[in-house]
Structure 1
Amino acid sequence: MASFSYSKMDICSGAMADLSFTFSVVRVAPKAEEAHQSSRQSPISRLPVELLCGIFHKYVEIPSGKPCIDPDRYSTGPRVSRASHTDPSLLTQICSHWRSIALNLPTLWSTIFIRQPKQSQLELTRLWLERAKEAPLSLAIWQTPVATEIDAEAAWEILSEFVARSDQWKKIDFQLPSAVILPFHQMMQDRKCDNLESIDFHATEVVHPGLVMTSRENRWDDQLEDLWKTFLSSPSLSDVTWRRLPPGGPPSDTVFSHLTSVNIAFDINVDDFLRILSLTPNLQRAQVALAIPSLQSSPSSPLSLKSLHTLQLSTRLKLSEILPKITAPSLTNLNIVVDESIASCSTLNPLQDFLQRSRCRLTTFTLVDRNIPSEAVESSLDFPELQSLTYLRLEGKLPEKAASHLLETQNGSYTRMPLLQHIYVGTAWARLVSSRWHSLPRDQPDDCEKMERFTRCSNRFHTSMDHEFQAMKDRELPI
Structure 2
Amino acid sequence: MPYRETNFSTRPSVQAASIVAMESNALRFRGLCAAVQPSVPPFWKSNIQNSRLGGGSQKSEFAKVKTSGPSLPTYDHPFHFPPAKSEVPPPVNRMPVEILGEIFAQFLQLGDFETEFDAFSLSVSPEWVASPMVLGQVCGYWRSIALSMPSLWCSISVSSPARGVVPIMQIWLERARQHPLKLFVEQSVRPGTAEEAVTNEIFALLLQHYHHWEHITFRVHGRITESLANIRDAPCPLLTSALLDMWWDDDVPVVDRIWSVLHSSPKLSHVDWNDVYAHTIQLPTHIPWHQLEDVALSHYFDINEFCTFLQQCSRLEKLQVSWIDRPGFSPEPCTPILLTHLRHLSICARTSLDPVFNRLVTPALTSMILKYKNPTKESRGLSEFGNLLRRSSCTLKLFKVYLESVDFLNFLLHSSQQLNYVEDLYARTTIPYEVIAALTLDSNNKFQLLPRLKKLKLAGCLSPEGITKMISSRLPPHIKKSKMEALTSVSVEIDADALPMYRTI
Determine the C-alpha separation between the residues in 1 that align with 2:292 and 2:140. Answer: 44
Residue 141 of structure 1 corresponds to which residue in structure 2? Answer: 185
Question: Which segment drifts farther, 195-204 or 50-59?
Answer: 50-59
Of residues 298, 310, 320, the one that matches 1:277 is 310
Aligned to 1:439: 477
Cα distance between partner residues in 1 of 2:276 and 2:85:
59
> 2 CA distance for matches of 1:158 and 1:337?
38
Contact kept, 8 Å, 1:378 with 1:401, in 2: the verdict is no
Kindly state the Cα deviation for residue 137 of structure 1 after the two structures are TM-superposed.
Answer: 0.8
Report deviation, 1:304. 0.7
Q: Does the CA-based 8 Å contact 2:301-2:323 persist in structure 1?
A: yes
Cα–Cα, structure 1 residues 450 and 254, in superposed 2: closer, same or farther, change >3 Å? closer
Asked whether the equivalents of residues 283 and 305 of structure 1 are also in contact (C-alpha less than 8 Å), the reply is no
Change beyond 3 A, Cα 1:153–1:441: closer
For residues 106 and 183 of structure 1, what CA distance do their matches in structure 2 show? 26
Aligned to 2:257: 226
Q: What is the match of residue 176 of structure 1?
A: 220
Distance 1:334 1:408 in 2: 25
Partner of 2:200: helix, strand, or coil? helix
Change (3 A) 1:270 1:113: farther
Question: Corresponding residue for 2:237?
Answer: 194
Taking structure 1 as the reference length, the TM-score comes to 0.74
- Amino acid across the alignment from 1:225: D
Q: Does 1:386 find its partner at 2:419?
A: yes
Q: Is the contact between residue 454 and residue 488 of structure 2 (CA under 8 Å) also seen in structure 1? A: yes
Match among 108, 115, 120 for residue 74 of structure 1: 120
Letter in 2 for 1:439: P
The match for 2:370 is 336
Query: Are 1:53 and 2:87 an aligned pair?
Result: no
Matched, 1:356 2:414: no
TM-superposed CA distance for 1:139, in Å, is 0.7
**Secondary structure in 2 matching 1:90:** helix
Shift of 1:99: 1.8
Q: Which of 110, 119, 122 pairs up with 2:163?
A: 119
Residue 22 (structure 1) aligns with: 28
Matched residue, 2:144: 100
8 Å CA contact 1:155–1:180 kept in 2: the answer is no
Judging changes above 3 Å, is the alpha-carbon distance between structure 1 residues 257 and 201 closer, same or farther for their aligned structure 2 residues?
same
Closer/same/farther in 2, CA of residues 122 and 463 from structure 1, 3 Å limit: farther
Counterparts of residues 2-41 of structure 1 (less than 5 Å): 21-22=27-28, 33-34=81-82
- Tell me if structure 2 keeps the 8 A contact 1:278–1:303: no
Q: How does 1:247-258 map to 2 (within 5 A)?
A: 249-252=282-285, 256-258=289-291
Q: Which amino acid aligns with 2:262?
A: F
Query: 2:240 is aligned with what amino acid?
Result: E
Deviates more, 1:177-186 or 1:191-200: 177-186
Output one character per residue of 1:259-278: Cα deviation in whole Å (capped at 9) or x when no partner: 11101146555455444323
Identity of aligned residues (%): 21
Letter paired with 1:132:
A
- Equivalent of 2:266, from 221, 230, 235? 235
Which residue identity is paired with 1:453?
T
Counterpart of 1:314?
348
The verdict on how the C-alpha distance between 1:181 and 1:274 changes in structure 2, with shifts beyond 3 A counting, is farther
Deviation of 1:217 after TM superposition, in Å, equals: 2.0
Q: Which residue type is aligned with residue 227 of structure 2?
A: P
Q: Which amino acid aligns with 1:334?
A: M
Aligned to 1:81, the other structure's residue is in SS state coil
CA contact (8 A) 2:300 2:322 kept: yes
Quick one: distance in 1 between partners of 2:378 and 2:104?
50
- 1:146 positional shift: 3.9
Q: Which amino acid aligns with 2:318?
A: R
CA displacement, residues 308-364 of structure 1 (integer Å, 9 cap, x when unaligned):
221112234444475346443432211112349774626841322333344433222
Letter in 1 for 2:290: S
Encode CA deviations 1:256-302: one digit per residue, 9 max, x unaligned: 22111101146555455444323212111100121531454222115
Q: In structure 2, do the counterparts of structure 1 residues 93 and 325 end up closer, same or farther at CA, with 3 Å as the change threshold? A: same
Could you tell which deviates more after superposition, 388-397 or 55-64? Answer: 55-64
Amino acid paired to 1:436:
R
Separation in structure 2 between the aligned mates of residue 32 and residue 455 of structure 1, nearest angstrom: 53
Residue 217 of structure 1: SS of its match in structure 2?
helix
Between the aligned partners of 2:244 and 2:309, the Cα distance in structure 1 is 17
Change (3 A) 1:253 1:52: closer
Aligned counterparts of 2:135 and 2:274: Cα–Cα separation in 1 = 37
State the TM-score, normalizing by the size of structure 2: 0.71
1:106 aligned partner, one-letter code: P
Note the C-alpha offset of 1:197: 0.6
Q: Once the 2 structures are TM-superposed, how far is the Cα of residue 389 of structure 1 from its aligned partner? A: 1.8
Shift of 1:370: 5.2
Q: Distance in 1 between matches of 2:374 and 2:101?
A: 48
Cα distance in structure 2, aligned partners of 1:45 and 1:405: 62
Instruction: Classify 1:34/1:60 alpha carbon distance in 2 versus 1 (closer, same or farther; 3 Å).
Output: same
- Does the 8 Å CA contact 2:344/2:367 hold for their aligned counterparts? yes
**Greater Cα offset, 174-183 or 455-464:** 455-464
Q: Which has the larger radius of gyration?
A: 2
Q: 1:251 to 1:412 in 2, by over 3 A?
A: same
- 2:84 and 2:457 mapped to 1: Cα distance? 50
Are the structure 2 counterparts of residues 347 and 260 from structure 1 closer, same or farther at C-alpha, using a change threshold of 3 Å? closer
Structure 1: tracts of 5 or more residues without a match: 1-17, 206-215, 465-479
Q: Find the residue that maps to 2:164 and give its secondary structure.
A: helix
Whether 2:485 is the aligned partner of 1:461: answer no
Q: Distance in 1 between matches of 2:227 and 2:450?
A: 56
CA distance in structure 2 between the aligned counterparts of 1:120 and 1:253, rounded to whole angstroms: 38
Give the secondary-structure state (helix, strand or coil) at the position aligned to 2:406: coil
Task: Give the letter aligned to residue 362 of structure 1.
Answer: L
Q: For structure 2, which runs of at least 5 residues remain unmatched after alignment?
A: 1-23, 33-78, 500-505
Query: Which amino acid is 1:451 matched to?
Result: A
Separation (CA, whole Å) in 1 of partners of 2:455 and 2:90: 41
* In structure 1, C-alpha distance between the alignment counterparts of 2:310 and 2:85, rounded to whole Å: 61
For the residue of structure 2 that corresponds to 1:439, the secondary structure is helix
